Structure 1
Amino acid sequence: MTPSELSRLRFPVQYLEITEAVVRAGHGRVADVRAACGAAPAGEPGSDWIDGHQLQASLDISLAHCLPGEAPALQILRHFPLTAHGTLGMLAITSGNVGEALEAALQYHALVMPLFEMRRQPDAKDGVRVHVRPTVDFAPHNELIAELVIGALRNVALYAATDQPVLHAEFAHPARWPLQGYTDFLGVTPRFDAPVHAFTVPHALLATPLITGNRATRATLQGQLQREASSGASLGPVTHQLRHHILAGLRRGHMLTSEHLAHELAMSVRTLSRRLQDEGTTLMRVMEQLRMEHAEHLLGDATLSVREVARRTGFADASSFIRAFKRATGRTPAENR
């Protein structure tokens, strides 16, 4: 993938917590993970999502902390709870049974894992078969990410009232590590050198209840995901990429110009404006929204004066900032503290 294509991808920031857990298990410095990946500090605006560059960096860090002699995917999967998929993970574990959890994954997986598409095949005799097809080249981590995406689905077994394997995995690449480790983790030996990446959930397990099932909570979570899906995963690719650059500038204390932002995105200002219009927004709207989000974050630091917050968010003086902040939020900066 090109650098710009990687920048347009979006993944839940919870994936970084998996890397932090792997680093912690390897007695590394957990506090360095976010900075090493170029991610925003926790709690700052823009810290809910990471892009493709940041995901690749996190995988590099995880691999560096994996022990020799065992498949890295298995070591990472031990720290990969379903809740790492954010709202989708919570929807899965509050489903009534394994079949409902599977349907949730098929319907909403693209919101959290745009590297693959999942296609349900005609029902076979042995169960519900799903092909997991790569949509982008994520080299050098293509094989690793395929094992993680399919392997993470196995973790629904932790909530299912069964001791049977919940899926049979197939991978299109050769086995690079001893199969016994995969068998121990999945409960059944996966197939390697398969025609496609795929998994099958046995028919007999679809009705198996989940001990964490809750209809009311699931309905609320599904509503959230439906709204996100209908809005095109909330942000268009150019808007998401633009937000990344604006926030990076704000964290350095700079308000980037439209010319600078267009240059960063390898397009003219006119093309940038047209692309943003196609995604239902404008450069001014995105910039003002992020200025206010960053201002709210800075106001949480009682050691910073309103004048300093104004300076760091690109306002000429405190009075201009106070007026803009109240217009955007309905509160004064003092009321926000």
Structure 2
Amino acid sequence: MIPLRALMFPIQYQEVGEAFMRAKGLSSPTAAEWLATLGIDPARGSDAPDVPPGFVHGEHFAALLRILSQHCSDDRAHSEQILECFPVSAHGPLGLLAIVATNMRECIDYAIQFGPLVMPAFGLRMEIIDHQVHLIFERRTDFGAFNKLITEITLGCYGQFKNYADTPRPDGDYYFRHQPDGVPMYIPGTPPRCIHYGCREDKLVFPEEFLDRPLIMTSRGSRNALESVLKEQVAVLAPQQPFTHKVRQLIQRDVHAGLPSELASVAQRLELSSRTLSRRLQEEHNTFAQLNAQIRIEHAKAQLLHTNKPVSQIAQEAGFNEVGSFSRAFKRVYDKTPSEMRVPSGFVSGQA
């Protein structure tokens, strides 16, 4: 787990607090008063010298959640009440970029690439199992008493993006590992039957065909401008790996299509030589073999959790010639063997 103080959150999230207080009919502090309440000097910014302008660290964000939760009523889920004041625009350039994407596939790709800029508490990856898209969220830090709240808010925020696809759109299912505190969460436009608790993963699930749905506000000019802003922010907050991200995309598409990923074929699709591809990955401290293995092990985990395929078949699809080597590689990553990770017999694909 990453220490809370090491994670950076956009400072504009204090605007969510202002909107929330107004919605509750309470006296809304000014922006400066909000920052002071969170322990932030409005003139100097964060009290931590390594926090860049425009961001606060995770302890400040946890303080905001605590204040909002204290003012929530107990007749509805706290996350539900906060999400009502958490529009897509609150995520800044990423929120705007996601809704001007070409289609949902591109929208999700932006969320995976730039998500750490707005919600670094979770890692995000996409798996496609039996023609269902699984957006899987893996918690990277400990919010203590607010772990459930931050999980529900995060999935709820990402789920808002589907509202910008042209119709018809599926409801989508929300899966949470935890049990609700009090009243279960309700997401507008999502039937209660589509929200599940006590599951094995935190994730959003919807039909694969939805990935090709165009977005109603798509704009190439806006995308170019917003991408430039986000890439500058990534360069400040974390080592930038844009080339690695492109290679990951191509390998994942091969995996989801049931195809092998060869260095030469990926290089050809990028209009590069194999040597150039390897060199550029090395510049970002990666190798093709490492990326290929990592992505296929992640996909194998999803297959174990969501299908009844034999372990031998999953091993073969992951690129391993024998189950033993697959099991050893899998355990190095997840500290469990494939059999230990496997869901109980009788599992039906698409469930939690």
Structure 1 residues 97 and 131 mapped into 2: Cα distance closer, same or farther (>3 Å)? Answer: same
Q: How many residues align?
A: 231
- 1:96 corresponds to which residue? 102
Structure 2 counterpart of 1:130, one-letter code:
L
Shift of 1:42: 7.9
Within 5 Å, give how 1:67-106 maps onto structure 2.
67-106=73-112
The two structures, once aligned, show a CA RMSD in angstroms of 2.6
2:28 aligned partner, one-letter code? V
Call closer, same or farther: CA 1:48–1:228 in 2, change over 3 Å: closer
Residues 13, 49 of structure 1: 8 Å contact kept: yes
Deviation (angstroms), 1:215? 0.9
1:7 aligned residue: 5
The equivalent of 1:319 in structure 2 is: none
1:200 and 2:205 matched: yes
Distance, in Å, in 1 between the alignment partners of 2:42 and 2:150 is: 25
| Higher mean displacement: 196-205 or 219-228 | 219-228
Q: What residue identity is the alignment partner of 1:138?
A: F
Separation of aligned partners in 2, 1:163 and 1:22: 31
Q: Partner residue of 2:348? A: none
The 1-side partners of 2:38 and 2:58 are apart by: 10
- Alignment match, 1:37: 38
Matched, 1:222 2:227: yes
Q: Which residue of 1 aligns with 2:69?
A: 63
Q: Is the 8 A contact 2:79 2:152 kept in 1?
A: yes
Secondary structure of 2:125 counterpart: strand
* 8 Å CA contact 2:171, 2:189 repeated in 1: no
Q: 1:42 to 1:145 in 2, by over 3 A?
A: farther
Aligned partner of 1:11: which letter?
F
- Looking at structure 1, the residues matched to 131 and 41 of structure 2 have their Cα atoms a distance apart, in angstroms, of 45
- Which residue identity does 2:221 align to in structure 1? A
Q: Within the alignment, does 1:143 sit opposite 2:143 as a pair?
A: no
Aligned partner of 1:182 in structure 2 is: 186
**Which one of the candidate residues 25, 28, 35 is aligned to 2:26?**
28
Deviations 1:16-51 (A, max 9, x none): 111111111112232142221123438979661111
**Partner Cα distance (1:55, 1:35) in 2:** 13
| Structure 1 position 126, deviation (Å) | 4.0
AA partner of residue 29 (structure 1): S
Give the letter aligned to residue 182 of structure 1. Y
Pairs within 5 Å for 1:107-186: 107-121=113-127, 123-162=128-167, 164-165=169-170, 167-179=172-184, 182=186, 184-186=188-190
1:113 CA displacement: 1.6
Q: 1:233 to 1:107 in 2, by over 3 A?
A: same
Larger Rg: 1
Tell me by how many angstroms 1:130 deviates. 2.0
2:173–2:206: 8 Å Cα contact kept in structure 1?
Answer: yes
- C-alpha offsets along residues 144-166 of structure 1, whole Å, 9 cap, x if unaligned? 10101111112123322225345
In the superposition, relative to structure 1, how do residues 120 and 90 fare at CA in structure 2: closer, same or farther (>3 Å)? same
Cα shift at 1:71: 0.2
1:292-321 deviations in Å (ceiling 9; x for gaps):
xxxxxxxxxxxxxxxxxxxxxxxxxxxxxx
User: Taking structure 2 as the reference length, what is the TM-score of the superposition?
Assistant: 0.60
Question: Which secondary structure does the structure 2 equivalent of 1:131 belong to?
Answer: strand
Give the SS at the match of 1:24.
helix
Q: Which runs of 5+ in 2 are unaligned?
A: 47-51, 241-352
Question: What is the CA distance between 1:125 and its match in structure 2?
Answer: 1.9
Q: What SS does the corresponding residue of 2:145 show, helix, strand or coil? A: coil
* Unaligned ranges ≥5, structure 1: 236-337
CA contact (8 A) 1:228 1:234 kept: no
Using a 3 Å threshold, how does the CA distance of structure 1 residues 116 and 65 change in structure 2: closer, same or farther?
same
Deviations 1:148-203 (A, max 9, x none): 11111121233222253453211000133444x52545345211111111112322
Work out the CA distance in 2 between the residues paired with 1:144 and 1:209. 31
CA shift in 2, pair 1:163/1:176, >3 Å: farther
Q: Distance in 2 between matches of 1:185 and 1:43?
A: 41
Partner of 2:287 in structure 1? none
Whether the 8 Å contact between 2:175 and 2:202 is mirrored in structure 1 is: yes
Deviations 1:94-137 (A, max 9, x none): 1122221111111111122221101222x112422122111111
- TM-score by structure 1 length? 0.62
Paired-residue identity, %: 31
* Aligned AA (1:74): E
Q: Quick one: which amino acid aligns to residue 193 of structure 1?
A: G
Residues 80 and 165 of structure 1: CA distance in aligned 2, closer, same or farther (over 3 Å): farther
